[in-house]
Structure 1
Amino acid sequence: MSFKSGSGNFSFDISTKSGLTALYNTPVYEADRVQRAMGGMPEIGPLSHTGVRVTLKDGSQWLIHKGPRFGKSSETVVVDAKHMSSDWKVIETKDFQGSKKVADFVEAGGSNYNIIFDNCHLGSRRMMDQK
């Protein structure tokens, strides 16, 4: 699923429900917590944006992150990593060995966004902290 960040205009890398269901049920082998500066601001702690880039068995990579108005039914969305700019930097890596699925990361991210109590940083940490 792809989107135009925060704009409410949505386009999709996966256009069928069966394709999205298949992606959500796919095991994750590696996850990188990634960070980038927020539009024109310096990359300083909370003045940045974080998410988790997952790698699947077939080598494909997907960015899972959250933000206000990012998605329709959930503020945590899955985007093909080909849409990521070179501004994203890896800040943590974890080997999940297929023990978690994409859906587990979306669920850990949380469906609602709150700048103080449930923001991108808290969501990406919960994704990485899964056992």
Structure 2
Amino acid sequence: MISFKMLLCALVLTLLAVTGESSSGGGGTPNHNYELSGSELRRLYNSAVFKAERMKRPLDGTSFVLGPLSHSGVRVTLADRSQWLIHKGGNYGVSSQTVVTNARHMSSDWRVVQTLDFQGTKTVADFVAAGGSDYSLIFDNCHLGSRRMMNQ
């Protein structure tokens, strides 16, 4: 006999499977738009993180955040006060599905759910590594990656 809890879990997983594509770049051709390269990119990855904010936003095409029916990432603030969003999704990157983008590209839909002061003890590269290079809707999604980033 199927319990209500099992049915609810199956419904949530089905919704994630249907809406997950829109939060991860969709089924079209990925847009790998690079703002930094070479020494600039190395400098960013080696930069110390002073503040980290775990954030959530609605999935593309929706107007609400409901637990896993959302997209999450971590916005980091560096010594120069620049802010960068580190998040993951299917087809987000080339060699890793955890990517770093300038926070100026974030929509106003993002909301802070947790803030931590890292006092420069971790680097952007540490956050990317904690996010993980692979993406799996069930086993290694944006929520799991952003929690690992905050718990390092």
TM-score relative to the length of structure 1:
0.93
What is the CA distance between 1:40 and its match in structure 2? Answer: 2.1
Partner of 1:8: 30
User: Residues of 2 paired with 1:31 and 1:68: CA distance?
Assistant: 23
Alpha-carbon displacement from aligned partner over 1:26-68 (angstroms, at most 9, x marks no partner): 0000000000000122310000000000000000000000000
Name segments (4+ residues, structure 1) moved above 4 Å. Answer: none
Partner of 1:86: 108
Structure with greater strand share of residues: 1
Structure with greater helix share of residues: 2
Identity of matched residues, %: 62
CA RMSD of aligned residues (A): 0.9
For structure 1, which segment, 86-95 or 38-47, has the greater mean C-alpha deviation from structure 2 after superposition?
Answer: 38-47
Q: How many correspondences in the alignment?
A: 125
Partner of 1:36: 57
Q: Secondary structure at the match of 1:52?
A: strand
2:142 partner amino acid: C
Partner of 2:14: none
TM-score relative to the length of structure 2:
0.80
Larger RCO: Structure 1 or Structure 2 (Cα < 8 Å, ≥ 6 residues apart)?
1
2:43 matches 1:22: yes
Alpha-carbon displacement from aligned partner over 1:12-33 (angstroms, at most 9, x marks no partner): 221x211111100000000000
Partner of 1:103: 125
For structure 1, which segment, 110-119 or 38-47, has the greater mean C-alpha deviation from structure 2 after superposition?
Answer: 38-47
Alpha-carbon displacement from aligned partner over 1:61-114 (angstroms, at most 9, x marks no partner): 000000000001000000000000000000000000000000000000000000
User: Residues of 2 paired with 1:39 and 1:103: CA distance?
Assistant: 27
